[in-house]
Structure 1
């Protein structure tokens, strides 16, 4: 029912037995538009018309009219689900190798991709895994809106965020909003891609980070999707859980990241902070955060102590 149809229907509920002229006076619609709306409502079974020369319109009781419409819509949805299940059985039973070609599908066009993304998230039943990193082409609110229905369906969401998100405007606050919504968030230096995986049966990867809304790859069950799932679990173990203040639970990590190992090597060579930041292609703020992370991970209060502890760990690993 359109907004105009609803207004006419409400008018008839308030003034049953009204003529089309009465509807025009009450709704301020034109005579032509009012007759068109009355005809639409009659076709939908929401009003009845008397056989008089000047027809009078009576609204059908809402509990009767809308109950029938709901039943009709439910019947249509059940038929659509049945059709989807029948069509899903055709591809595996085809006996040809052409089904393998559909394991990766290229989605192009902003409108098409946004529609696919909406269907993608709505189809999640158990869990969703996300690789998250800047740049962001959409406001964080759009991400939150897609996750609301998942939370209502008790879909588990785990996200690995690149540490550069902490430097992005609104990034730390968005992480806190996700945590408050019951999602699991972890931080990792060097998340390679943006991607989402639902129920380990389908994945979505944008082709370009700076224009993520223009094109993407839809991954169906395949070796490529299995590899992406395995890569997520590997990084999840390496990533650091986020606390209520965006701090990292360093002791929960099971291994040291390659980025921090590289940082240790550069520090050991006696390079200055600005030179190291330039080598790693990071900002000075990010460099200071990694130094703090390194000291916490090595349980050190100073850089000298961190270097000493790192050297002792290396000695123990080498067995010398």
Structure 2
């Protein structure tokens, strides 16, 4: 918890114990921490250098805790100052990079990242560095990284970064797949589904992209592509897959007002979304923790509500009535028609 200001687990535990006691002998503290006395004294010396502990004037071997408000406040202030200086340095480096990279050499437009750990680290780094938008194609059987990083997505969402993600249908069958997707939709990310994506891909702020390089079975490797014609091609690939994919709709809150015609509720829309994504009744029931008969009964109710006799007709009706939508882009004829409605 205090690692952010430079304390390791042992130092934090020692400081917390010392704060609780007010003052303690090295022997007593070592016993409470289950550490050898030499290790305990060494830890106290490090706390002393950080201004968190001091030797008592009462006698050798007795230590007292520095007041947390003052001691930790000083460390936090120093940490904030260092972060501000680092942010300034990063901004200056970014400006220098943009100046020097105005006309980069061809061989500098692509990075080759090798090894599972290096690929995963670079992948996370790209997400954490996003400022505007992350576009991703997610496969059902990732090699080095398992889809997008949930913590990185949460941080990005707090910074206002938009996510557009296309997943393979197999992702819905993962044990935690539906839970993760529901959380993503709750962060207002846009998620769509296709049978199969052509490749795993992540594009950050339309200036960097990452694609896998090595075949399955070989050492994981990936390409990081900078602004170039190749990046434009990858953007075009993503947009093509995005247009053809079906929106995923989960965990919605349906609102019914007085006098409004009856319509599908939240569970109905979840069932309909998963069915349109290509899942069977049995798979839908399992994912939503419903009985198979419940799913089939609700589908029958939707068909009766839509006054259709086949599921194909139900799908057409769902799009026509706006129960599900491809969310057309503003400015297109479809988008203008949707805005007019």
Q: Same fold (TM over 0.5)?
A: yes
Instruction: State the secondary structure of the residue aligned to 2:142.
Output: coil
Which residue number in structure 2 is paired with residue 62 of structure 1? Answer: 68
Q: Does 1:18 align with 2:32?
A: no
Q: What SS is found at the alignment partner of 1:236?
A: helix
Q: Normalising by the residue count of structure 1, what TM-score does the alignment of the two structures yield?
A: 0.68
- Pick aligned residue for 1:133 from 128, 139, 147: 139
Once residues 103 and 64 of structure 2 are traced to their aligned partners in structure 1, the CA distance between those partners, rounded to angstroms, is 60
* Matching of residue 8 in structure 1 with residue 36 in structure 2: no
The one of 259, 266, 276 equivalent to 1:248 is 276
Q: Which structure's CA Rg is the greater one? A: 1
Which segment is superposed worse, 35-44 or 17-26?
Answer: 17-26
Instruction: Report the Cα distance in structure 1 between the residues aligned to 2:8 and 2:54, rounded to whole angstroms.
Output: 18
Indicate the larger mover: 33-42 or 108-117.
108-117
What residue is the counterpart of 1:234 in the other structure? 240
SS in 1 for 2:275: coil
Counterpart of 1:47? 53
Equivalent in 138, 150, 157 of residue 156 of structure 2: 150
- Over the residues paired in the alignment, what is the CA RMSD in angstroms? 3.5
Q: Tell me which residue corresponds to 2:34.
A: 28
SS for the counterpart of 1:48 is: strand
Matches within 5 A, 1:106-255: 106-137=112-143, 143-165=149-171, 175-208=181-214, 210=216, 214-243=220-249, 244-245=270-271, 246-248=274-276
- Deviation string 1:266-312 (CA, Å, 9 cap, x unpaired) is xxxxxxxxxxxxxxxxxxxxxxxxxx87995799xxxxxxxxxxxxx
**Structure in which a larger fraction of residues adopt helix:** 1
Report the secondary structure of 1:247's partner residue: helix
* Length-normalised TM-score, structure 2: 0.64
Q: CA deviation at 1:17?
A: 3.6
Check whether the contact 2:194–2:277 (CA below 8 A) recurs between aligned residues.
no
Q: What is the deviation of 1:41?
A: 0.3
* Deviation (angstroms), 1:209: 6.2
Structure 1: segments with no counterpart, 5+ residues: 251-291, 300-320
Change (3 A) 1:172 1:71: closer
Shift of 1:167: 6.2
- The answer to whether the 8 A contact 2:24-2:62 is kept is yes
Q: How many pairs align?
A: 258
Alpha carbons of structure 1 residues 75 and 293: separation in structure 2 relative to 1, 3 Å: farther
Deviates more, 1:176-185 or 1:118-127: 176-185
Which whole-Å CA distance do the structure 2 matches of 1:189 and 1:11 have between them? 56
